[in-house]
Amino acid sequence: MPFAFEKLTGLNSDALLAAVEPILLAHRVEGVELIWRTDNRGWVLYLTVERQLPGQRGAGVTLDDCSEISRDLSAALDATDVIPGAYRLEVGTPGLERALYRPAEYARFAGELARLRLSQPVAEQRSLRGVLLGLDDEGRVQVDTEQGMFSVPFDAIASANLVFDPDGAKSNKARSKGPGGRKASPRSK
């Protein structure tokens, strides 16, 4: 599946993906979300893309990139006539507070502040806000919060997103701990 999240109700998703995928490859971007929805102005195909650059969250895709992808994708969709009727095409990035969909994203964004809403309580908690620590050996999401470290089964997460932290003050507690939630010892040089 090329997108972390797809909602294409009422469309031929195979035909649509066949038109979209070559455009993403040509622009060297990855699809994050592909959503077919309505708003107060009519139907819209909403596409978010990113280019993974190590250590550069939110970097990699420019406004010019979005414009070029939109232009090329619009031409491809018109040529294939995969979407009947009038619609708008919106291409953007997932943003600084991007949603997390796949287990690999929790590992990729380890060290970042996140908010998780749970479908099943974990230690009587229905939502968690803390620093992602990646995945454990069993694929559970590790989160260091002010209430302690939580190990959350992936299927217990209803939704999750990164939290923009302009000051970089994620959690003093989380930064003072090493792997497994143990206090990290100061390094001597």
Write down which residue in 41, 59, 92 finishes a domain. Answer: 92
Residue 49 and residue 23 in one domain: yes
Q: Which two tokens stand for residue 26?
A: 């040509």
Same domain? For 45 and 124 the reply is: no
Segments forming the whole domain that contains residue 173? 103-181
pLDDT tens-place string over residues 82-128: 998 899 999 999 988 999 999 999 999 999 999 999 998 888 889 99
Q: Are residues 60 and 111 in the same domain?
A: no
Residue 46 is part of a domain; what is its CATH number?
Answer: 3.30.300.70
Question: Do 107 and 87 sit in the same domain of this protein?
Answer: no
CA distance 22 to 86: 23
152 — phi, psi (to 5°)? Answer: -110, 125
pTM of the model: 0.78
Looking at the fold, whether 79 and 143 belong to one and the same domain comes out as: no
Q: Hey, what are 47's tokens?
A: 């596409």
